[in-house]
């Protein structure tokens, strides 16, 4: 059963999706961000959901949480990472194999769980299958502001995702690089903090801002 602050956070994220394609939930460590993300995915019942975590261990933990909190069957779930301790769930880092998985399940509600470093595989598979992620949940989302190691690939230009839910305890803002003289800078912000949010949609939890 969700705790009260998780319910408030999930509702705030779902309300934000009614106005735009991005939402950020800022919870302190141990407050249950992963379960909140699973609750949002289950509420949306999207045809294709993508969940991203920074490490292999967190992918395994997230897969276990989503197995408990969502209705996705093992044969409707694929892990996009180099190894896993999960049994009975497909795993691959081959874009062709992931694309076939997606193409064969167009009429199913499917779930991809990936590390940030494997996002190029996910992006290539989506293009090959002609699919778009209906919702993406980015756990430990502050890593999307880092450069290198594939973390910065969680951008609109590189990953086709209709709605994005960022989960973090330490929000960061990636600012656009300075424009060259005579040229306009392109915004490069991936993770929105409360400074950029509609204050009417926020919920407070112990000094943290749920957006």
C-alpha to C-alpha distance for 137 and 135, rounded to whole angstroms: 7
| 170 class by beta-carbon count within 10 Å (0-12 exposed, 13-18 middle, 19+ buried) | exposed
pLDDT, tens digit, 9 for 90 and up, residues 194-203: 333 333 333 3
pLDDT digit string (tens) for 116-164?
Answer: 999 999 999 999 999 999 999 999 887 776 655 545 566 677 888 999 9
pTM of the model: 0.81
* pLDDT confidence of residue 146: 62
Q: Which pLDDT score, from 0 to 100, does residue 56 have? A: 93
Query: What is the C-alpha R_g of the chain?
Result: 17
Give the pLDDT confidence score for residue 190 in this predicted structure.
41
Burial of 84 (0-12, 13-18, 19+ CB in 10 A): middle
Task: Give me the chain's average pLDDT, please.
Answer: 80
Task: Give the pLDDT of residue 204.
Answer: 36
- Nearest CA to 25 out of 12, 38, 15 is that of 12
pLDDT of residue 182: 61
The predicted-structure confidence for 74-121, as pLDDT tens digits, reads as follows 889 999 999 888 888 899 999 999 999 999 999 889 999 999 999 999
Q: What percent of the chain has pLDDT over 70?
A: 76
pLDDT category of residue 44 using cuts at 50, 70 and 90? very high
Long-range CB contact pairs, 188-191, < 8 A, 24+: 188/155, 190/144, 190/145, 190/152, 190/154, 190/155, 190/166, 191/24, 191/141, 191/142, 191/144, 191/145, 191/166
């Amino acid at each position: 059963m969700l705790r009260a602050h998780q319910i408030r956070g999930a509702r705030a994220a779902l309300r934000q999706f009614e106005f735009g394609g991005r939402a950020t939930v800022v919870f302190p460590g141990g407050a249950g961000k992963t379960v909140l993300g699973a609750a949002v995915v289950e509420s949306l019942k999207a045809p294709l959901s993508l969940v991203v975590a920074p490490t292999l261990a967190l992918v395994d933990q997230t897969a276990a949480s989503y197995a408990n909190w969502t209705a996705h069957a093992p044969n409707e779930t694929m892990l996009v990472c180099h190894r896993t301790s999960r049994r009975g769930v497909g795993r691959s880092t081959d874009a062709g194999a992931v694309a076939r998985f997606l193409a064969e399940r167009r009429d199913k509600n499917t779930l991809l769980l990936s590390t940030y470093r494997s996002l190029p595989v996910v992006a290539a598979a989506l293009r090959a299958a002609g699919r778009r992620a209906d919702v993406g949940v980015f756990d430990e989302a502050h890593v999307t502001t880092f450069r290198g190691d594939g973390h910065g690939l969680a951008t609109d230009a590189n990953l086709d995702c209709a709605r994005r839910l960022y989960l973090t305890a330490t929000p960061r803002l990636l600012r656009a690089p300075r424009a060259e003289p005579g040229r306009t800078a392109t915004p490069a912000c991936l993770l929105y903090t409360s400074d950029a949010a509609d204050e009417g949609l926020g919920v407070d939890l112990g000094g943290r801002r749920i957006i």
